[in-house]
Structure 1
């Protein structure tokens, strides 16, 4: 089990430079993708954190730390 899973929120994406609405949409798309992969915990409106790796797959590029 990997204990070094990095997570990200829309606020982190805003700090990187994304617009607020764009960052929120990225998180929504990532959560939807995670639910389709079988991670039903992400089918929760109040959960706002997702794995950074999943966001990078949605965006198609690596995020810097």
Structure 2
């Protein structure tokens, strides 16, 4: 399972506040899905699939494109 942090999102072009907000939303989503482990302030990495659900596109395909260029 690939995890994403706010710093990874910043590499995709998101501003810091927006990136942190997306991670927070993904953590809330994971808690709603039954993973109380993500209800932790200090935890900053979330599954890529949760972030993809928030942003609406696949980050794994985007990162592969960025590495090919």
Segments of 4+ moved more than 4 angstroms? none
Structure 1: 5+ residue stretches without partners = none
Q: Aligned Cα RMSD in Å? A: 0.6
The whole-number CA distance in structure 1 between the counterparts of 2:22 and 2:40 is 15
The structure carrying a bigger helix percent of its residues is 2
TM-score (norm: length of structure 2): 0.85
Alignment deviations for residues 7-55 of structure 1 (CA, whole Å, 9 cap, x no partner): 0100000011000000000000000010011100000000000000110
TM-score of the aligned structures, taking structure 1 as reference length: 0.90
Structure number with greater Rg is: 2
Q: Are residue 48 (structure 1) and residue 44 (structure 2) matched? A: yes
User: What is the rounded CA distance, in whole Å, between the counterparts of 1:15 and 1:59 in structure 2?
Assistant: 14
Listed as ranges, the gaps of 5+ residues in structure 2 are 64-69
